[in-house]
Copies of this chain bind each other. A is one copy, B any other.
Amino acid sequence: MTTHALPEAWRRGLYETIARRRDMRAFLPDPIPHETLARMLSAANQAGSVGFSQPWNFLVVENLDTRRQIRAHVEQERMRAAAAFSEERRAKYLAFKLEGILDAPINLCITCDQERFGPAVIGKNTIPETAVYSTCCAVQNLWLAARAEGVGVGWVSILEPHVLRTILRIPDRILPVAYLCVGFVESFPEQPTFEAAGWLPRIPLKNLVFHDQWGDPPNSKLRCALEADQGNCARMSGPKTDDTSGIVT
Binding site for B on A (CB under 8 A): 1-23, 28, 30, 34-35, 37-39, 41-43, 45-48, 50-54, 56-63, 66, 77, 80-81, 84-85, 89, 93, 96, 98, 117, 119-120, 122-127, 129-130, 132-133, 136-137, 139-141, 143-145, 147-150, 155-161, 168-171, 174, 177-178, 184-185, 187-188, 192-195, 199-200, 202-203, 205, 208-215, 218, 221-222, 224-226, 228-233, 242, 244-245, 247-249
Please report the C-alpha to C-alpha distance between residue A199 and residue B180 in the assembled complex, in whole angstroms.
Answer: 32
Q: Is the pair A157, B249 in contact by a Cβ cutoff of 8 Å?
A: no
Q: Which of A122, A141, A226 has the most CB of B within 10 A?
A: A122
Contacting A58 at CB < 8 Å: which of B3, B120, B209? B209
Partner of A127, one of B43, B149, B161, B244: B161
User: B84 to A39, Cβ gap below 8 A?
Assistant: no
User: Which residues of the partner chain B approach A242 to less than 8 Å between Cβ atoms?
Assistant: 4
Instruction: Tell me, rounded to whole Å, the shortest Cβ–Cβ distance linking A68 to chain B.
Output: 13
Of the A-B pairs whose beta carbons lie under 8 Å apart in the complex, a sample of 23, sorted by A's number, is: A3-B245, A4-B244, A10-B16, A11-B13, A11-B148, A11-B149, A23-B48, A35-B228, A38-B222, A38-B228, A38-B229, A41-B229, A51-B200, A52-B192, A52-B193, A57-B209, A59-B213, A63-B212, A77-B125, A123-B158, A133-B157, A137-B143, A170-B214
Chain B residue nearest to A138 (CB atoms) is B140
Given contacts A14-B17, A17-B10, A122-B93, contact A169 B4 (CB under 8 A): no
Residues of B within 8 A of A170 (CB): 214
